[in-house]
Amino acid sequence: MPRLTKLDDVLFPVEEHPVFVSFFENGSERRLAVPDKKAIVNCNSHRVLGVVSRGYRLVSNREALDMAYECCRTVFPDTKSGEWVAKAIDAPSTVGYCHIDLVHNSTALDFKFVPPNQRPEAFGPFIRVTNSYNGLRALGFEIGFFRKICRNGLILPNTIISFKFNHMRRDIRETIHFKIDQNQLNKLTTSFDDFLSGLHNCAVPRPQFEPFILSVLSLSQPRSLKLDPGEANDWRQLCEQIDEMSTRYAEELGENAYAVFNVITEFASHPPENRCVHRDRHSLQRLAGTWLTSFNDQCRKSGFTLASHLEQLTAQRSSAVDLHGEQAAVG
């Protein structure tokens, strides 16, 4: 199902309404209030977005966006709120939740990385706010990094900015105060090129790109492939897309883990509408960040081999599929 990608699509007004149960008694309809529940309603479409508890603290997407601007200013105190722009919006058609990325509109926060061909590439940070109206996702603010030439991005796990607030009145006050360890932020930013250096120093033969990428992004051939021609066609198209990206980046950046990394982040940042892809952009970018952190640690250890790393990734993917059956859809 197509996803919403425009800011106006998610900045509609919302209201809280009481919930009633309707039933018939002696031929007449009766309505009883449900005292511990309330409905979150889209004022434009009058569609119910979620039914939540009475203690739920409603935060509109517009309010969450304003909080995100304040978060940007706090994390990067030398910038102003007006210098940040909402560049990427992602929400399901139900609009039960959404992700909005704020990107700084100049090169002031850029940091450089020099790949194998010695051509400097600029990377920059973004701040993603997550909000929901159905109580299934917390209000969250996370830092991510993206390659500016193509906007391929990822979110590192356990970063210095990862604020999450359950949608309860006791957890979300009228004003949120963001506290940042600036020393940790500076260390993370300056060491990011070290993460990437470990990638381009690790050779990966072109034939190993696909199994590498499928494992990192937890993409598996559907078990019902032979029973569903349409799904078989989707899987074929997905494999062709990954093959095209793999060849393109291998030719541009060489046969190394940095090229694989770029395929992973491009796919994660621009996931196709395909029945074989069960995760949204946010989840895929978190998988990319988790893998980068893990790979950076492992590739520097004595005795590291690409074959053993790939074998470990494949085993993890197989275990996840065996545990849950067909991968659960996100969003």
Q: Which two tokens stand for residue 248?
A: 């393109």
Q: Average pLDDT across each block of 10 residues of the chain; the chain has 331 residues. List them in order.
A: 89 95 84 92 95 90 92 86 90 94 86 63 88 90 86 78 68 68 72 78 92 92 74 92 96 92 95 92 93 86 86 74 46 40
What's the pLDDT score for residue 132? 94
- Residue 172 and residue 80: Cα distance in Å, rounded? 24
Rounded to two decimals, the pTM is 0.84
What's the pLDDT score for residue 82? 84
- Residue 6 and residue 103: Cα distance in Å, rounded? 15
Angle, CA 252 vertex, CA 251 and CA 254 arms, to 5°: 65
- Residue 253 and residue 243: Cα distance in Å, rounded? 15
- Residue 210 and residue 201: Cα distance in Å, rounded? 19
Helix (H, G, I), strand (E, B) or coil at 39: strand
- Residue 236 and residue 19: Cα distance in Å, rounded? 46
The residues near 38 (Cβ < 8 Å, ≥ 6 apart) are 16, 17, 18, 19, 51, 52, 53, 54, 56
Q: Do residues 75 and 185 lie in contact, with contact meaning Cβ atoms separated by under 8 Å?
A: yes
Residue recorded with tokens 């517009």: 62
Q: What is the DSSP string of 256-269?
A: BHHHHHHHHHHHHH
Domain ranges of the chain: 10-53, 61-180, 201-324
- Residue 72 and residue 128: Cα distance in Å, rounded? 10
Amino acid in position 33: A
Residue 215 vs residues 81, 247, 321: alpha-carbon distances, Å: 39, 18, 11
Helix (H, G, I), strand (E, B) or coil at 326: coil
Q: Which two tokens stand for residue 294?
A: 């893990």
Q: Do residues 14 and 49 lie in contact, with contact meaning Cβ atoms separated by under 8 Å?
A: yes
Helix (H, G, I), strand (E, B) or coil at 323: helix
